Amino acid sequence: MNKIFDNITTIAFDADDTLWENENFFRDAEKEFYVLMQEYATKENLEKELYKREIAHLPLYGYGIKSFILSMIETALVESKNTIKPDIISEIINIGKKMLAHPVLLLDDVEPFLTYLKSKNYRLILATKGDLVDQERKLEQSGLKHYFHHIEIMTDKQSSNYTALLQKLDIEPSEFLMIGNSIKSDIIPVINIGGKAIYIPFHTTWVHEEADAKSLQKINYLELSRLGELIE
Amino acid sequence: MNKIFDNITTIAFDADDTLWENENFFRDAEKEFYVLMQEYATKENLEKELYKREIAHLPLYGYGIKSFILSMIETALVESKNTIKPDIISEIINIGKKMLAHPVLLLDDVEPFLTYLKSKNYRLILATKGDLVDQERKLEQSGLKHYFHHIEIMTDKQSSNYTALLQKLDIEPSEFLMIGNSIKSDIIPVINIGGKAIYIPFHTTWVHEEADAKSLQKINYLELSRLGELIE
């Protein structure tokens, strides 16, 4: 295996868009929302206003689909100047319920890679941001739960959150490798505390998760297009 | 101390209505909701329909204030037959935001009791149900975080959830004592797996959490009116 695995005992995986598809369901939901709202505002305006509200609501609502539904409803109310037809609000709630009931679609190579790591006796951790009940549902449905020694659903993924996780599990940063699709949440904060990271971009990234990978020195950090590259 | 503490090494606390006030904020919010909706439906009908939706939404939305806001909005839409004025939806969202920003009010005796237990070297755990970001906010604001060795925010509190928690923390049921205000979530499931429990009722209980304490034999289980009784 790649030398980034030297001295590593514990490998943590992000979940959404690293193990299974996620962000594209948000993009599809937004498209439905723009169509529903077309008599009240342009797509460009709705896109800007919805994103603004999602970010403003993060401290109060956190990440996840329920927060997203509430931000869509509020955007609909404000952009229609409180003239929205109530059935459109019902439709927005239905978009959210559909997202929450969506089957879990695993990404390529995930299961063979987890099996391989397990056979090599790495301690595997799931470290994900988001809504508790929705992440637990996806983990149950994914059939991947048995691979993981510990599951951590985090309110945020700053360096301080990773430090707390490592302390709790009694892991040194130098033994810790994080694998994920967000430079901002999975890579930078882990490298900053002395861990290692593998970045595997997903084709769709939420604007809020974008960060400039070029600014990072390629030390303790590897970029791949697919998980499978590691065992080929 | 009471003999229920014999052999106990780990004491877990429920949070809402055991350490701090919670349920009364829901009751207050419901009253505001009934007033907002009075031209569309009676209080009795709204109460019944809102509760029905909250329970129906539990598997999809989980516990917590965001789920409660979404259930209020859906009840408003259905009970008005989609004729609700949009500003009422805005008002419902504001009721929820006010709940999410409410200061944390600790219950009597909580801090001295935690200090006392800590001085006796018990391992203290917080085991709460609910929304991740909201529970973490309350814990931060409460100033109680430093008392706890481990914090578990659970999607549900069935016996199987407690078994998983005890396995994860490597605790035998016979060393485990749970303290909480819900017979259904904090007492029965813990006794069923061989742990001990102390029930301290709060003046307000959500109907969904009600259970008949009389059916329980008073074995491994104690009822108190206040935490402070244990150290007096």
B32: domain CATH number is 1.10.150.240
The whole-number pLDDT of residue A219 equals 63
CB–CB of B62 and A89 under 8 A?
A: no
User: What is the distance in angstroms between the Cα of B159 and the nearest Cα belonging to chain A?
Assistant: 17
Strand partners, B150: B125
- For residues A62 and A59, give the distance between their C-alpha atoms in angstroms, rounded to a whole number: 6
Of A61, A63, A84, the CB nearest to B86: A84
Interior angle at CA B147, CA B141 and CA B152, nearest 5: 80
B28 Cβ contact list (under 8 Å, min separation 6): none
The whole-number pLDDT of residue A176 equals 97
Q: Final residue of a domain: which of A44, A73, A100?
A: A100
CB–CB of A82 and B74 under 8 A?
A: no
Domain match, A50 and A124 both: no
Q: Is the pTM of this model over 0.95?
A: no
The whole-number pLDDT of residue A64 equals 93
- For residues A92 and A119, give the distance between their C-alpha atoms in angstroms, rounded to a whole number: 45
Of A61, A77, A150, the CB nearest to B89: A77
Strand partners, B153: B128
CATH number of the domain at A111, please. Answer: 3.40.50.1000
Count of CB pairs separated by less than 8 Å, A with B: 86
User: What is the distance in angstroms between the Cα of A87 and the nearest Cα belonging to chain B?
Assistant: 6
Which residue of B68, B131, B133, B152 is the best one to mutate when testing the A interface, meaning the one whose CB has the most A CBs within 10 A? Answer: B133
Domain match, B210 and B172 both: yes
Sign of the four-CA dihedral B2, B8, B10, B15: negative
Q: pLDDT at residue B14 above 80?
A: yes
The whole-number pLDDT of residue A96 equals 98
CB–CB of B90 and A82 under 8 A?
A: yes
Sheet holding B196-199, edge to edge: B150-154, B123-129, B10-13, B176-180, B196-199, B221-223
CB atoms within 10 A of CB B19: 27
Give me the tens of pLDDT residue by residue for chain A, a chain 232 residues long.
788 999 999 999 999 999 999 999 999 999 999 999 999 999 999 999 999 999 999 999 998 999 999 999 999 999 999 999 999 999 999 999 999 999 999 999 999 999 999 999 999 999 999 888 899 999 999 999 999 998 999 989 999 999 999 998 899 999 999 999 999 999 999 999 999 999 999 887 777 877 766 666 666 788 888 888 887 7
The whole-number pLDDT of residue A223 equals 87
Residue type, A71: S
CB distance A149 to A124 below 8 Å: yes
Q: If you measure CA to CA, which chain B residue comes closest to A132?
A: B132
Domain match, A70 and A131 both: no
Q: If you measure CA to CA, which chain A residue comes closest to B99?
A: A60
SS (H, E, C) A153-205: EECCCCHHHHHHHHHHHCCCHHHEEEEECCHHHHHHHHHHCCCEEEECCCCCC
Domain match, B80 and B132 both: no
Q: Which residues of B touch A77 (CB under 8 A)?
A: 86, 89-90, 93
Does residue B125 sit in helix, strand or coil? strand
The whole-number pLDDT of residue B230 equals 81
Domain match, A154 and A192 both: yes
Domain match, A125 and A222 both: yes
Number of domains in chain B: 2
Residue-wise pLDDT tens digits, B201-212? 988 777 787 776
Q: Final residue of a domain: which of B100, B134, B159?
A: B100
Of B66, B90, B155, the CB nearest to A67: B66
Q: Final residue of a domain: which of B100, B126, B146?
A: B100
Q: pLDDT at residue B41 above 80?
A: yes
Query: In terms of residue numbers, what domain contains B130?
Result: 3-20+104-230
Domain match, B135 and B207 both: yes
Q: If you measure CA to CA, which chain A residue comes closest to B76?
A: A86
Mean pLDDT (chain B) is 92
Domain match, B188 and B145 both: yes
ipTM for the predicted complex comes to 0.89
Q: pLDDT at residue B214 above 70?
A: no
Domain match, A95 and A123 both: no
Domain match, B187 and B140 both: yes
CB–CB of B61 and A100 under 8 A?
A: yes
CB–CB of B77 and A89 under 8 A?
A: yes
Q: pLDDT at residue B215 above 70?
A: no
Chain A positions touching chain B (beta carbons under 8 Å)? 60-63, 66-67, 69-70, 73-74, 77, 80, 82-87, 89-90, 93, 96-97, 100-101, 131-134, 136, 150, 153, 155, 168
Residue-wise pLDDT tens digits, B144-201? 999 999 899 998 999 999 999 999 889 999 999 999 999 999 999 999 999 999 999 9
User: What is the distance in angstroms between the Cα of B1 and the nearest Cα belonging to chain A?
Assistant: 30
Segment B14-41 mean pLDDT: 96
Selection from B15, B36, B26, B30 nearest residue B99 by Cα: B26
Does residue B140 sit in helix, strand or coil? helix
Domain match, A163 and A178 both: yes
φ, ψ dihedrals at A21, nearest 5°? -70, 145
Q: Which residues of B touch A97 (CB under 8 A)?
A: 60
Q: Which residues of A touch B60 (CB under 8 A)?
A: 97, 100-101, 133
Domain match, B118 and B96 both: no
The whole-number pLDDT of residue B160 equals 95
Question: What would the two tokens of residue B8 be?
Answer: 């106990």
